[in-house]
Amino acid sequence: MATHRDLSIGVVGGGIGGLSAALSLLAAGFDVQVYERASALGEIGAGLQVSPNATRILHGLGLEKELAETGVRPRALLQRRWEDGRTLLDTPQGDRLEAAFGFPYYQMRRADLLAALAAAIPPERLHLGRRLTGLDQNHDVVRAEFADGSSADVDVLVGADGIHSFVQGELFGAERPRFTGCVAYRGLIPSDRLSHLSLEVTTQVWLGPGRHFVHYFVGGGRFLNFVAVVEQDTWTRESWTDRGDVADALAAYDGWHPQVSAILGTVEETYVWALFDRPPLPRWSQGRVTLLGDACHPMLPFMAQGAAQSIEDGAALAACLAENPGDPAEALQRYERIRRPRAGHIQSLSLENKTRFHLPDGPGQQARDAAMADGATNLSMNAITAIYGHDATLLPAL
């Protein structure tokens, strides 16, 4: 009978999903190697939110101290009206959320979380500059071939290589992600530039016709992360992420509440990021190869669950392989059966929020606001319980 240490696992991709999966697999006792195409680790985007369903896993991997040092614990999530600033929904976070779910909610710089994950990986297991160019598998082994001419034979290969996933294309055929009709201006602002606004330590989501605006503190409170999402018919830039024009962002929010324009007025540099997704895949796995994170369920960031779901994927994958190391292909099928419905559901909730956040003023918007006042939206305390209370390390009974 195969044991954990007999099983070698290659993880393709050194982002948050790939590194957290590698740590979960290492903690389960597997022989893990990570292959990242870039010569240095990096993450697209400035900030992210790490909800209790993810901090539960990260604490279990020994990163509690690192999260506390670099994360910010917001008091609440506020959803506000674009013009008058009225609070439509106040969802508790902070101590109340931790008491409800047992683990904290953090706002963080992506770079801080990535650095914490990378520091926990033994350096000899992290291989940079290794771009995957081919893979081949038989009943017993997967061979990964890289652009530098090297190769690796592993028992299991995990594609954590993002929305452009090479592994996904090799398994099921290349499929171009779809432009969702939204672009996001994003960046970080030193907090001292905003001291005159006396901003609360909250996540604030401003809802308005055809766009929304998000801001929250990161980096231990040293920076304010902002994301300004605007509907746009087409995307013509060659890069998915490029320098944006601050004047364009200001113009897009002309007439909005003074707090929004005041925040944007302090911005010196912004990047613009096209938001892409893909319909849920019918399959994630083939033989001894599987996918996780954006490689199989890229989602809009409107539930703040993209990173959390990739972290859940890695924990569930490790648990499935630990349960059945003697039959990796069946373990991957079990992983897929467990994870695909949950990730697909959260994908759909994220897509629904694109419509809900951007309603034009009128009857639909008024009905939305009334539902929010009743706590009936998917970011209310009642609605998020199924997301935040989930423990991906616990597998359902066979």
Positions marked catalytic = 216
Q: Which helix (H) or strand (E) holds 132?
A: strand 132-137
Q: Which residues pair with 9 in a beta bridge?
A: 32, 156
- The amino acid at residue 132 is L
CB atoms inside a 10 Å sphere around CB 129? 13
Q: Is 132 exposed, middle or buried (0-12, 13-18, 19+ CB in 10 A)?
A: buried
3-class secondary-structure state, position 327 = coil
User: Can you tell me the distance from the alpha carbon of 253 to that of 10, in angstroms, rounded to the nearest whole number?
Assistant: 45
DSSP string covering 179-190, please? EEEEEEEEEEEE
**CB burial readout 191-228, b (16+ within 10 A) else e:** beebeeeebeebbbbbbbebbbbbbbbbbeeebbbbbb
- The amino acid at residue 102 is G
163 contacts: CB under 8 Å, gap ≥ 6: 177, 276, 277, 278, 294, 295, 298
63 contacts: CB under 8 Å, gap ≥ 6: 116, 117, 120
Kindly state the tokens that stand for 281: 């895949």
